[in-house]
Every structure is written in structure tokens, then in C-alpha cells.
């Protein structure tokens, strides 16, 4: 019994480096919007869910954080959102939005309509964001709408999220621990929301668990980025964590090159006791410029580490991977393990 108590205390002390919030996700009642990894700050009017169960948000703040331009025609009572050559026009009280791209306009019929509330134009964000080519999800546990239009396409995000979760060798899975730990221990080490990581909103819940599980009130040196964060926000921390993973995978020589295609849309918390690792899911692209047998040992080792089983001269091939990142306070943030998720493809 003493050994067991000592172990729990030791792990609790290690967890304290993360400044665990201890607040249950279920306690959250406010609705938040995250755009490309960062929570949108609404200075006055706040998002809400309308009677049609659609998330309505003040359009300007979220759209501008997405990199879009917003204009308002007061006479027509129409808001126009433009990004990357796509224009979306939505009129107050109208269930149709007009999407114009490459000179062609199509109509998308929604099951709700834009409104004016508290002197702000509210729009159903999923329809608008998807019309602009963004990926949209929702964490029902944390009540966070996620909008992603950064590096990966909506098709790439959907494909990556279809793979099972993975974990590093040192991790103890949630399912394994359930048979050995008390309910109190399970909630402490894994969080009260771990069961929500599966199902319709599973990946969004697994991602939002990262942002709410702990603050980052500590020192975090990023190995390849040569950046040290002190008492950062979780949004900034995980943004840099993805950038660190990309920086470490990138390899360019006259013979071969590697690139990691990833953003914060596909990060999640893997199973472990202390939460000291985070998984960045993405796609490694490899291009070989010479006969593979002429590659150096280091170049071959890099290809093998990423899971490539065949190297073709003059071809770019891809493989989906999970990269487990060390994310412990006061230690270097860097790659721990790389786990291929499937076979390579062209």
C-alpha cells in the first residue's frame, strides 16, 4: 500500500509541472471557436446555438482570423466573405448563400439563416467555412467549434482522422489502465473525458483535451526551432509543437528531400499516465533525385524511420504518420517516435 501511495504521489508531482487545471470538461457551458489552432476572441457579442442546432457566430472576427476579408452591404443586408478567390455572400434572413469561384456562382441552401443580433451579423459558421474550403468539426465535451484552413486540405484531414490512435512505447493505454486503476485514478491520470475520444466527435474531443488538460506555465525549449517558451498559452505551445515536428522531419540534400505536411487540425493526446507526450498526425513526402542505391546511410535511415519501404528515382511518394512529441516541462520539445499509419502512396 505504501509503495502504491508513493507512486501516486510521485506521478502527481510530475503532473504538477503541467499545472493541471483539474476542471472537468463537462463543466464548460460557453461556446468557443478555434481557428487554425487559436481560440477566437469575441470582444462583445458571443457565439450561440440557434433553434436549428446550428452554431451562429459574429462573422467578422472568425473570418478575419481565417484570413478572409469581410464586407457588408447595408442596403442589401448582405455580408460577403472572400478568401483565396472564393466569395461567399449571405443575406440576413435568407437560407441560401451564394458561392462564387472562378466566375461561377452556385447556391447552397442551409437549414438556418443569418441574423443580426446585438448589432452584429451572425452566420451559421459551418456552411460559410466549408464554402471557403475549410474543415469544420465540433467538440461536444468542450463545446468548441474547430475551423481549419491552414496547411492540409479537407480531404487530407478526413483521411488522417480515419486512422486509429497510436501511442508511444512508454505509454500505458487507457484500456489497459482501466483494468488496474480505480475510477479516481483513471480520472486523475487520463481525464474525465477519455471515453469521448471515440464516436462522431471523438477526434475533436481528443484534440481539445490537449488544450484544456493543462496550462503551459513552465519553460519549454524547442530543439530545432531554437525557441524557448516561458509561461505560454496552450494555443501558442501546440502551434510551435507542430512546427517543431515539421522542422525535425525536413531534410534536403542533392540526393533526396523529406517534408512533413501537418497543422494543428490533427494533433491529439495519446494514452499515457503523465500527459508528457503529444501526437502530431500528418503526411511525410519523400522525393528521391538519384538511384536509390547511391543514397547515403543517413538518407536511407531517414527514409526507414518515416516508414518508407520503397524509394523510386524521380518520384514523390507519401506516407501518413503519427509523430509522438516530447512535451514535458523543462525538457527539450522534440520527436520521440514516428509511427507509420499505412502504406506509402504516390
Nearest alpha-carbon partner for 40 in 163, 145, 119 = 145
Measure the CA–CA gap between 165 and 9, rounded to whole angstroms.
29
Q: CB-based contacts of 68: which residues, under 8 Å, 6+ apart?
A: 81, 82, 83, 132
31-149 carries CATH number 3.30.457.10: yes
- pLDDT at position 178 is 85
Whether 97 and 108 have beta carbons less than 8 Å apart is answered as yes
Residue 38 gets the label, from left (phi > 0), alpha (psi -120 to 50) or beta, of: beta
- pLDDT at position 42 is 86
Which letter, b or e, does each residue of 328-341 get, where b requires 16 or more Cβ atoms within 10 Å of its Cβ?
bbeeebbbbbbbbb
Nearest alpha-carbon partner for 186 in 173, 202, 198 = 173
Within a 10 A sphere around the Cβ of 47, how many other Cβ atoms?
A: 20
Give me the residue spans of the domains in the chain.
Answer: 31-149, 156-340
- pLDDT at position 275 is 62
Task: Map grid coordinates 522542422 to a residue.
Answer: 247
Nearest alpha-carbon partner for 333 in 278, 262, 271 = 278
- pLDDT at position 13 is 31
Whether 69 and 83 have beta carbons less than 8 Å apart is answered as yes
- pLDDT at position 273 is 60
Whether 206 and 141 have beta carbons less than 8 Å apart is answered as no
Task: Map grid coordinates 500528418 to a residue.
Answer: 282
- pLDDT at position 343 is 94
- pLDDT at position 15 is 32
Alpha helices in the chain (DSSP H): 2-16, 59-65, 125-131, 154-161, 174-178, 183-190, 202-213, 234-249, 297-306
Q: CB-based contacts of 327: which residues, under 8 Å, 6+ apart?
A: 220, 241, 275, 276, 277, 278, 333
Q: What is the pLDDT along the chain (346 residues), one digit of tens a residue?
A: 433 333 333 333 333 333 333 333 443 458 899 999 999 988 888 888 888 888 888 888 888 888 899 999 999 999 999 999 999 999 999 999 999 999 999 999 998 888 998 888 888 889 999 999 999 999 999 999 999 999 999 999 999 999 999 988 778 888 888 888 898 888 877 878 888 998 899 999 999 998 987 778 889 999 999 999 998 899 999 999 999 999 999 999 999 999 999 999 999 987 766 567 899 999 999 999 999 999 999 999 999 999 999 999 999 999 999 999 998 889 999 999 999 999 999 9
Whether 84 and 133 have beta carbons less than 8 Å apart is answered as yes
**Bridge partners, 88 (sequence order):** 81, 99
- pLDDT at position 152 is 96
Amino acid at each position: 500500500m505504501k509503495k502504491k501511495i508513493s507512486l501516486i504521489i510521485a506521478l502527481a508531482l510530475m503532473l504538477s509541472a503541467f499545472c493541471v487545471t483539474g476542471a472537468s470538461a463537462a463543466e464548460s457551458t460557453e461556446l468557443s471557436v478555434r481557428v487554425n489552432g487559436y481560440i477566437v476572441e469575441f470582444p462583445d457579442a458571443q457565439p450561440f446555438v440557434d433553434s436549428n442546432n446550428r452554431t451562429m457566430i459574429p462573422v467578422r472576427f472568425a473570418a478575419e482570423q481565417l484570413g478572409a476579408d469581410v464586407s457588408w452591404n447595408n442596403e442589401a443586408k448582405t455580408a460577403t466573405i472572400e478568401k483565396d478567390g472564393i466569395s461567399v455572400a449571405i443575406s440576413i434572413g435568407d437560407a441560401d448563400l451564394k458561392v462564387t469561384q472562378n466566375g461561377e456562382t452556385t447556391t447552397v441552401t442551409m437549414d438556418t439563416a443569418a441574423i443580426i443580433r446585438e448589432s452584429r451579423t451572425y452566420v451559421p459558421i459551418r456552411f460559410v467555412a466549408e464554402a471557403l474550403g475549410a474543415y469544420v468539426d465540433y467538440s461536444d465535451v468542450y463545446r468548441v467549434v474547430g475551423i481549419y484552413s491552414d496547411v492540409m486540405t479537407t480531404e487530407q484531414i478526413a483521411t488522417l482522422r480515419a486512422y486509429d490512435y497510436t501511442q508511444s512505447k512508454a505509454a500505458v493505454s487507457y484500456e489497459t489502465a482501466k483494468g488496474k486503476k480505480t475510477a479516481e485514478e483513471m480520472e486523475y491520470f487520463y481525464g474525465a473525458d477519455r471515453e469521448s475520444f471515440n464516436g462522431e466527435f471523438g477526434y475533436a474531443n481528443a484534440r481539445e483535451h490537449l488544450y484544456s488538460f493543462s496550462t503551459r506555465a513552465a519553460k519549454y525549449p524547442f530543439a530545432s526551432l531554437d525557441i524557448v517558451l516561458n509561461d505560454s498559452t496552450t494555443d501558442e505551445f501546440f502551434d510551435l509543437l507542430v512546427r517543431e515536428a515539421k522542422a525535425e522531419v525536413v531534410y534536403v540534400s542533392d540526393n533526396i528531400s523529406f517534408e512533413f505536411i501537418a497543422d494543428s487540425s490533427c494533433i491529439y493526446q495519446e494514452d499515457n499516465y503523465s500527459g508528457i507526450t503529444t501526437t502530431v498526425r500528418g503526411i511525410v513526402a519523400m522525393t528521391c533525385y538519384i538511384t536509390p542505391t547511391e543514397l547515403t546511410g543517413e538518407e536511407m535511415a531517414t527514409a526507414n524511420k518515416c516508414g518508407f519501404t520503397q524509394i523510386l528515382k524521380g518520384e514523390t511518394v507519401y506516407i501518413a504518420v503519427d509523430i509522438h512529441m516530447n512535451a514535458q516541462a523543462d525538457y527539450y520539445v522534440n520527436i520521440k517516435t514516428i509511427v507509420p499509419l499505412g502504406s506509402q502512396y504516390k
